[in-house]
Copies of this chain bind each other. A is one copy, B any other.
Amino acid sequence: MKRDERQQAIMDLLVEQGSVDLEDLAQRFVVSKMTIHRDLDELEQAGVLRKIRGGATTEAGTQFESDFRFRERRSGAAKDRMTDEALKLVEPGMTVMVNDGSTAAVLGRRLVEKRPLTVITNNAAIMDALRDESGITLIALGGTYSAKFNAYFGVVTEDALDRLRADIAFISVPAVAGMEAFHMDDEVVRAKRAMQASARQSCLLINHTRFERTALHKLCDLTDYTAIITDDTPPQAALDAMAEGGVDLIVAN
């Protein structure tokens, strides 16, 4: 492994973990700590990380932390766990819908594991990822592009969904409270609803930190989902509410 590759690998780790340990890096790449020091120095010079005692972290408050790919890969482990569960619901030959959001993007990319599949999505990241995969029939939902969500929305999206049918839809939301799911943007809500309406069953993906929160628009009731997957145990209050409402929660850990 050459210098450049190692530095790239360090960046990958940094993006994934948010910080890296010097000692650990030296062991991982089987080089001396001095070499790692030099790598980190260069990367710091290039402005992509900040050296701290014993390792390095992502430069706080720069473009980096708000970078889409960054957010996507950060806490990637949790998303991977949720994705593992979600994939269990998918069988080769199915038609699968996936909505916007970085969690959904992670799932979208991993759908290749279940090919052949037909994948319907308005998520630009998924389109990019599955575009050239053989065994995946990619049906993109058109619409007006939203940079904020890196996905397509609007009447075009909704009309297209109205004419398509899928076996399962994977939906993610930023807020769940009680027995209801929420989202801050009404365009997004409409797209998610259209997707759920066109799929035989729907599966909700929700980060455990997002329970007990609301957002401006209510999307639907949790009873609308045939499966709800989260990455870690949510607050007791949330658990109670769902138990009482009679919905099953799959905790992936």
Contacts and interface: CB of A to CB of B under 8 A. Distances in A.
Contact of A142 (B4, B128, B130, B152): B152
Contacts of A157: 142
A105 B146 CA distance: 20
Given A156-B164, A160-B156, A164-B156, A140 B132 contact: no
What's the interface size class on A, roughly? 20 to 34
Contacts of A131: 124, 145, 147
Interface of A: 4, 122, 124, 127-128, 130-132, 137-145, 147, 152, 154-157, 159-160, 163-164
A144 B152 contact: no
A108 to B, nearest CB: 13
A69 to B, nearest CB: 12
Secondary structure dominating the interface of A: mixed
Contacts of A164: 156
A163 B154 contact: no
Q: How many copies does the complex hold?
A: 2
Nearest to A157: B142
Contacts of A142: 122, 139-143, 152, 156-157, 160
Given A140-B156, A142-B156, A156-B160, 8 more contacts: A4-B4, A140-B142, A140-B144, A140-B152, A142-B152, A142-B157, A159-B159, A160-B160
B139 A145 contact: yes
A139 B156 contact: yes
A138 B140 CA distance: 14
Contacts of A159: 159-160, 163
Contact of A156 (B127, B128, B141): B141
